[in-house]
Amino acid sequence: MADAKTRRRRWREPSVLPGFGPAFGFTLFYLCLIVLIPLAALIARPWEHGFGGFWHAVSNPRVLAALKVSFGVSLLAAAANVVTGLIVTWVLVRYDFPGRRLADAIVDLPFALPTAVAGIALTAIYAPTGWVGGLLAPLGIKVAYTPVGIWIAMVFVGLPFVVRSVQPVLQDFDAEVEEAALTLGASSAQRWRGVILPALLPALLTGFTLAFARAVGEYGSVIFIAGNMPFKSEIAPLLIITKLEQFDYAGAAAIGVLMLAMSFVALLAINAIQLFLVRRGAPA
């Protein structure tokens, strides 16, 4: 009840930004122009051949295999980034060491680096003749041109999302809470599990969501290292490009609509979990 009264009071208060009406209208217009209209065009395009044509496009075994690779590897890459991103963030925030600012800047490198350049670099390193691939090849381990290579590329592009989501939360975390737990006799593991991790969970889920969303639609850094073998290492965005080159615009849009629906369901589930965690941790 108090929260509802607070929201109503804030609604009546004058905003520091001039003109709620024009600003709200511009927001709706901009969102429709940039987001809703393109998505509406994407959803409308596959139905020019009817439901049968749409179903034939999305039920093709090759399409289903590519979707399985894209979404399955994206989930694994985002999960790996949650663990590694948390460790990297912890080191950057909690420790002071020579080169810390340089390491912090390197985290943003996947943001600035063109994805095609990243793909070429990763392929050169992990190919059987590369620095790392050459060491793994005698052991019978092949990275490039396999789903493992796709996973590495997706981990590369997704790491900054987790680090930058968790970093401000960890920086603002009250050290007195940890000191209180230490005073009460909590061990390091208990402080981590019962005090620090619950506070970081919403940010970790946000980073996971962003890393997953980026990995699902990633093309440039994946296409070179994937190998693009149908039913093995072919990703869904490549199939869309292939159909566009064949002038099968309806088929490409059908795959896009299916990816959009699957991404929406996955993001909705993740956001529901995040909302549950936030409400569970909110004070009564």
Q: Quote the domain boundaries for residue 73.
A: 51-281
**177 in a structural domain:** yes
C-alpha–C-alpha distance, residues 33 and 36, integer Å: 6
Residues 235-277: tens digit of each pLDDT: 999 889 988 888 888 888 999 898 888 888 888 888 787 777 7
Q: Taking 50 as the threshold, does the pLDDT of residue 283 lie above it?
A: no
The pLDDT value given to residue 4: 55
**80 in a structural domain:** yes
Under DSSP, the state recorded for 143 is -
C-alpha–C-alpha distance, residues 194 and 75, integer Å: 26
**140 in a structural domain:** yes
More confident call, 281 vs 228: 228
Residues in the chain: 284
* CATH code of the domain covering residue 273: 1.10.3720.10
Residues 59-118: tens digit of each pLDDT: 889 999 999 999 999 999 999 999 999 999 999 988 888 988 999 999 998 888 888 888
**188 in a structural domain:** yes
C-alpha–C-alpha distance, residues 118 and 245, integer Å: 24
**29 in a structural domain:** no
C-alpha–C-alpha distance, residues 275 and 201, integer Å: 11
Picking from 11-15, 206-210, 271-275, which range would have the lowest pLDDT averaged per residue?
11-15
- Mean pLDDT, the chain, integer: 84
The pLDDT value given to residue 217: 85
Buried b (16+ CB within 10 A) or exposed e, 76-88: bbbebbbeebbeb
**12 in a structural domain:** no
The pLDDT value given to residue 282: 46
**228 in a structural domain:** yes
**91 in a structural domain:** yes
Domain count, the chain: 1
Buried b (16+ CB within 10 A) or exposed e, 104-115: beebeebeeeeb
